[in-house]
Amino acid sequence: MSPRLVASLRVLLAATGFIGAVTGPTWLPVLAVVLLALRFRAWEGILIGLTVDLLWQPSGWIIGSFPLYTFGAIVLIWALEPLRKKLITFV
Amino acid sequence: MYYRPSNLRRGGNKGLYIVTALALLVLLADMATGGFIRAQVRVAGAAASRWTAAAGSAIGGTGLLSSRAALEAQNRSLALQLATLSEEAAQVDVLKEENDKLRAMVHLAEKDPGITTPVISSLFASPYGTFMIGAGSEDGVEKGDIVLTDGGFVVGEVSDVSASVSLVTEILAPSAAFEALVSGAPIHAEGAGSGSGRAEVSRSLGVSVGDVIRAAQYAQQPIAIVGAIASTSESATQTIYFHLPTGLSEIQYIYVTQARR
């Protein structure tokens, strides 16, 4: 795939994730973050998770509910870093 | 076709480190400011939700995403309607429907003082079983207030309040568990999201479809009705499935009042 196409795909996935965070369904931002994390060092995935938690999670975390989506995105994107480094690209 | 190694730059994690630190800092700052940051994000999110809904309606109205057969059928229908329907009559119908919904809530105000407010976010976007309403501390909304449908069924409880927007946690949110009453008997109910839930009860309990489920924590106010009952002769228990009588997607306005406990 051409670099321009790859960049467009990344923007599309990020936009889908942010729109899904606002309007739903709930699996859309998760899918976007997973797909982004598989291919890119997607810092925008962390922002998508943060957006979901700031929008929908009741406050009082640690005492109340845990910001699952933010930490989930951070763990996922960092955990897939070794996979991304060894990624084999078909040309 | 051949293989080539990934072209990710070595040591290119700087941006990721910065964003990770920024995200954690935002969460800490939000906690330190008592939810100020999330209040601003929710106001922006509510506006974005309204814009997206309007854009979706506009695109759907053009028929762009419809099949050819559906478009032809729609064309015929619209041609017939065009002769008898005017734009002003349609606007009057919308206003009348809103008026009817708001009028249906008047009886709630006679029993418990409170305010009627619109739902300003998607009711299905939240993974935490929450949604936003267009009223906040400026309107007298307080944390712990309960939210009712026009039929007087408890939908949830206000869990976060900012100046003009509040976050409501559904009583039937996914993984929520609470004590309830049906046919006068206490049950342990579990929320399943989207205004529905379930409970395992004894087979000897006389429950019927249509029975009202009441929340013990809200002075036995109604929260749902029984929609289905599943039981087998081998089991000592039966599973009752319940839901809000009004579909969650149909709720446009809700009533906020202080909780009776």
| Average pLDDT along chain A | 85
Cβ distance B125 to A54 less than 8 Å, yes or no, reads: no
A3-23 and B36-62 helices cross at what angle (nearest 10)? 110
| Subunit contact A46:B20, Cβ cutoff 8 A | yes
Tell me which chain A residues have a C-beta less than 8 angstroms from the C-beta of B126: 24, 26, 55-56
Closest Cα to residue B120, out of B52, B194, B36? B52
- Measured at the alpha carbon of residue B188, what is the angle toward residues B160 and A53, in degrees to the nearest 5? 25
| Of A52, A13, A15, nearest in space to B125 by CA | A52
pLDDT at B167: 94
Cβ atoms B93, B243 nearer than 8 A = no
Q: Of A56-70, B124-138, B200-214, B245-259, give the lowest mean pLDDT range.
A: A56-70
pLDDT of amino acid B3: 43
- Residues of chain B with C-beta less than 8 angstroms from the C-beta of A74: 20, 23
Secondary structure letter of residue B180 according to DSSP:
E
CB distance A76 to A34 below 8 Å: yes
Q: CB A77: neighbour CB atoms within 10 A?
A: 26
* Percent of chain B with pLDDT strictly greater than 70: 85
Beta strands across the sheet bearing B146-148: B114-118, B253-257, B146-148, B154-161, B166-170, B130-133
Output the six-digit token pair for A80. Answer: 């897939």
Residues with Cβ within 8 Å of B3's Cβ and at least 6 positions away in sequence, in order, are A88, A89, A90
Other C-beta atoms closer than 10 Å to the C-beta of B143 total 15
Say whether pLDDT at B87 is over 50.
yes
**DSSP structure class, residue B225:** E
B-interface mutation test, from A22, A47, A62, most B Cβ less than 10 A away: A22
Residue B6 binned pLDDT confidence (cut-offs 50, 70, 90): very low
In this predicted structure, the answer to whether residue B150 has a pLDDT above a threshold of 90 is: no
**Predicted pLDDT at B117:** 92
In this predicted structure, what is the pLDDT of residue B55?
Answer: 80
Closest partner CB to A74 (pick from B20, B53, B128): B20
Spell out which chain A residues touch chain B, with contact meaning CB-CB distance below 8 angstroms: 19-26, 41, 43, 46-47, 49-59, 61-62, 65, 67-70, 74, 77-78, 81, 84-91
Q: What is the reported pLDDT for B7?
A: 47
What local confidence, expressed as pLDDT, does residue B204 receive?
86
Q: B181 pLDDT exceeds 60?
A: yes
Look at the alpha carbons of B94, B134, B120, B105 in this order and tell me if their dihedral is positive or negative: negative
For residues B219 and B260, give the distance between their C-alpha atoms in angstroms, rounded to a whole number.
6
Beta strands in chain B (DSSP E): 3-5, 114-118, 130-133, 146-148, 154-161, 166-170, 177-182, 185-193, 196-202, 212-215, 221-231, 237-243, 253-257
Highest mean pLDDT among B72-76, B108-112, B233-237: B233-237
Between A and B, how many residue pairs show a Cβ–Cβ distance under 8 A? 121
Which ipTM did the prediction report?
0.84
Look at residue B8 in the predicted model and tell me its pLDDT: 46
Cα of A74 to nearest chain B Cα, Å: 7
**Average pLDDT over every residue of A19-30:** 91
Smallest CA–CA distance, residue A30 to chain B, in Å, is: 10
- pLDDT for the residue numbered B2: 43
Overall pTM surpassing 0.80 (yes/no): no
DSSP B230-260: EE-TT-SEEEEEEE-SS-GGG--EEEEEPPP
B66 has pLDDT over 70: no
Comparing A61 with B75, the larger pLDDT belongs to: B75
Q: pLDDT at residue B259 above 80?
A: no
- Find chain B residues with C-beta within 8 A of A85's C-beta: 6, 8
Number of other CB atoms surrounding residue B59 within 10 Å: 11
Instruction: Please tell me which residue, B93 or B55, carries the higher pLDDT value.
Output: B55
pLDDT over 90 (residue B133): yes
Specify the pLDDT at position B1.
Answer: 44
Tokens of B201: 């009860």
For B81, residues 6+ apart whose C-beta sits below 8 A from its C-beta are none
Pick the range with the lowest mean pLDDT from A20-24, B15-19, B63-67, B239-243: B63-67
Looking at the partner chain, which of B4, B16, B48 has a beta carbon nearest the beta carbon of A91?
B4
Query: According to the per-residue pLDDT averaged within each range, which of A65-69, B137-141, B218-222 is highest?
Result: B137-141
Q: For position B137, what pLDDT does the model report? A: 92
- CA-CA distance, B214 to A77, in Å (whole number)? 44
Concatenating the DSSP letter of every residue in chain A gives --HHHHHHHHHHHHHHHHHHHHH--THHHHHHHHHHHHHS--HHHHHHHHHHHHHHSPS-TTTS---HHHHHHHHHHHHTHHHHHT-EEE-
Q: Pick the more confident residue, B170 or B68.
A: B170
SS3 B175: coil
Task: Answer whether B156's CB lies under 8 Å from B170's CB.
Answer: yes
pLDDT reported for residue B142: 93
Residue B34 CB-half CA count within 13 A: 4
Residue B175 has a pLDDT of 80
* Contact assessment for residue B238 and residue B231, using Cβ atoms and an 8 Å cutoff: yes
Q: What is residue A89's predicted lDDT score, i.e. its pLDDT? A: 44
Report the percent of chain B where pLDDT is more than 90: 33
